Amino acid sequence: MNKSELIEAIAQQENLPHREASSITNTILETMIDTLATGESIEIRGFGSFVIKEYEAYQGRNPKTGDKIEVPPKRLPFFKVGKELKERVNKGS
C-alpha cells in the first residue's frame, strides 16, 4: 500500500473528502517528522516507536575503490515494532 492508497482508505472509512483526508495525513506525518528532526522520539501503543540513534564519525572505506574516507557523525531514525503489530504480522492476520 502506498501513501495515496492510505489516504483514499482513510477518506472512505471516515467519510471525508479526499482533500481533507490528504491534508490530515500530511499533518500527522509532518508532526512525526518534526518530532524526529528535533531528536525526540515517538511512541504509538500497538504500532511501535521511533527513536533517533546518534553515530560518531568514523573512518570508512569506499567499497568500490578501497579509498579511505571520513564518515561524518550522523543521526538515524530507528523503528521498533510494537507488541500488537509484531504478533499480528507473525500470525498473518
Which residues contribute to the site for other proteins (CB under 8 A)?
Answer: 1-3, 6, 9-10, 13-14, 16, 20-21, 23-25, 27-29, 31-33, 35-37, 39-48, 50, 52, 74-79, 81, 84-86, 88-93
> Which residues lie across from 71 on neighbouring strands?
58
Q: Return the number of the residue (40 or 61) whose C-beta is nearest other proteins.
A: 40
How many Å separate Cα 45 from the centre of its chain?
Answer: 15
From CA 19, how far away is CA 40, in angstroms rounded? 29
The grid coordinates of residue 49 equal 516507536
Q: Return the number of the residue (32 or 66) whose C-beta is nearest other proteins.
A: 32
Question: Least distance to other proteins from the beta carbon of 67, Å?
Answer: 23
Question: Least distance to other proteins from the beta carbon of 66, Å?
Answer: 26
**Amino acid identity, position 69:** I
